[in-house]
């Protein structure tokens, strides 16, 4: 099978020749990988026969994103961010941390509407997207669009950046009109942005990855009732746009989200990512049985424990367990739960991909 045939077969809940492979890694890990192997990311993914490719998407051409705060720049939403270098065992990472929440002091829905930094879909050049898709299609890979880390189709996450994490959750209870106005403004941008991305792709995008963290490591961040009240409508809108353009919808959420899975599926979700094992591995068999032919899964390999701290044999054993639980009957794409960081040994990343190629044929039943 080609990569496209393999992934689409699994997403149709049929048995592929092996479980499809995806690979998520940070810039810090890719620097480490290049130092060890001399390979750039694209060459590495091709050599390892990774099945999915993520396109860059539209190019930002809007107003300069400069901040009056010293040492900061602005993200798309006008949130000031400061680059923070972190030295990890085995490598260095740079993260862009929020320096201030510009809507923290908003008191009314009118304050939200009056915010001067709402972005415009016209701030992007979409003209290169079709060619990006064709580059991946020429290699028979599955094409995925997810945007960059700070501009991923979402509702709750950008609201956290703008309003503050604690404040937006208090709003859900104390000031729901403020929360709903904020979510509405975020959706207004993303509906048009997403539609323009998919229109420019001319059918070349196979999967759209939205991203919104609905879970903490010990449980959901909000109840199913609150999710339905404030976020379901927007989530359904995103799923509808994706499906209208003939693509599948994959959603990334960290944490324990088992109580929300049925709602996500009913709202139109095709593939659930990240299956964070520290948060919900005990639920994997339950989720597979409940959604075996209606919801696919992606991820499931620990970047907190196994990848950075285990041995290659530990990695192989975790891959074996995930395949045995999640791959039968199709519906599973093997990957880590999030980006591999620079603290992960290169040999563990190689062991992950090698195990995915070698173990699937033996352990995936009809």
Is residue 118, in this structure, part of any structural domain at all?
yes
Confidence label for 218 from pLDDT (cuts 50, 70 and 90): very high
As for how many domains the chain has, the answer is 1
User: Over the stretch 114-147, which tens digit does the pLDDT of each residue have?
Assistant: 999 999 999 999 999 999 999 999 999 999 999 9
| Residue at 93 is within a domain | no
pLDDT higher than threshold 50 for residue 365: no
Judge whether 91 lies within some domain. no
Q: Under 8 Å CB-to-CB from 72, ≥6 apart: which residues?
A: 80, 81, 82, 99
CA distance 332 to 315: 18
pLDDT, tens only, 241-270: 999 999 999 999 999 999 999 999 999 999
Q: Look at residue 191 in the predicted model and tell me its pLDDT.
A: 98
Asked whether residue 292 is assigned to any structural domain, the reply reads yes
Domain, as residue range, for 194: 3-63+102-363
- pLDDT number for residue 366: 37
Q: pLDDT tens across 280-304, in order?
A: 999 999 999 999 999 999 999 999 9
- Average pLDDT rounded to a whole number, residues 318-325: 97
Among residues 186, 168, 188, 187, the alpha carbon closest in space to that of 178 is found at: 168
Q: Specify the pLDDT at position 149.
A: 82
pLDDT tens for each residue of 338-356? 999 999 999 999 999 999 9
CATH number, domain of 57, equals: 3.20.20.210
| pTM of the shown model | 0.97
pLDDT number for residue 364? 42
Q: What's the mean pLDDT when you consider all of the chain?
A: 96
Alpha carbon distance 62, 76 (integer Å): 9
Distance between CA atoms of 291 and 213, rounded to whole angstroms? 21
């Amino acid at each position: 099978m080609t990569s496209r045939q393999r992934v689409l077969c699994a997403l149709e809940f049929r048995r592929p020749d092996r479980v499809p492979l995806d690979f998520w890694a940070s810039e810090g890990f890719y620097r480490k990988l290049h130092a060890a192997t001399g390979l750039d990311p694209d060459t590495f993914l091709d050599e390892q026969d990774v099945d999915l490719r993520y396109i860059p998407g539209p190019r930002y051409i809007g107003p300069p994103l400069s901040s009056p705060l010293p040492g900061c720049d602005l993200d798309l939403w006008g949130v000031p961010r400061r680059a923070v270098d972190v030295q990890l065992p085995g490598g260095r990472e740079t993260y862009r941390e929020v320096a201030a929440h510009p809507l923290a002091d908003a008191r009314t829905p009118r304050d939200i509407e009056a915010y001067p930094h709402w972005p415009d879909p016209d701030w992007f050049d979409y003209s290169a997207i079709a060619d990006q898709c064709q580059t991946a299609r020429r290699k028979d890979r599955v094409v995925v669009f997810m945007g960059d880390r700070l501009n991923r189709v979402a509702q709750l996450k950008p609201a956290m950046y703008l309003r503050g994490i604690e404040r937006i959750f208090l709003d859900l209870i104390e000031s729901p009109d403020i929360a709903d106005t904020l979510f509405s403004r975020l959706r207004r941008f993303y509906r048009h942005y997403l539609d323009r991305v998919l229109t420019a792709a001319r059918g070349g995008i196979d999967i759209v990855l939205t991203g919104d963290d609905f879970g903490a490591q010990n449980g959901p961040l909000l109840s199913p009732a609150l999710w339905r009240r404030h976020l379901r409508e927007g989530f359904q809108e995103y799923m509808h746009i994706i499906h209208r353009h003939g693509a599948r919808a994959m959603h990334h959420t960290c944490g324990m989200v088992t109580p929300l899975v049925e709602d996500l599926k009913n709202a139109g979700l095709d593939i659930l990512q990240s299956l964070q094992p520290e948060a919900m591995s005990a639920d994997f068999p339950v989720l597979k049985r409940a959604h075996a032919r209606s919801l696919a899964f992606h991820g499931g390999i620990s970047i907190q424990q196994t990848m950075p701290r285990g041995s290659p044999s530990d990695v192989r054993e975790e891959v074996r367990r995930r395949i045995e639980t999640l791959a039968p009957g199709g519906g599973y794409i093997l990957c880590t739960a999030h980006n591999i960081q620079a603290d992960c040994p290169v040999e563990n990343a190689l062991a992950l991909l090698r195990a995915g190629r070698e173990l699937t044929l033996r352990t995936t039943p009809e």
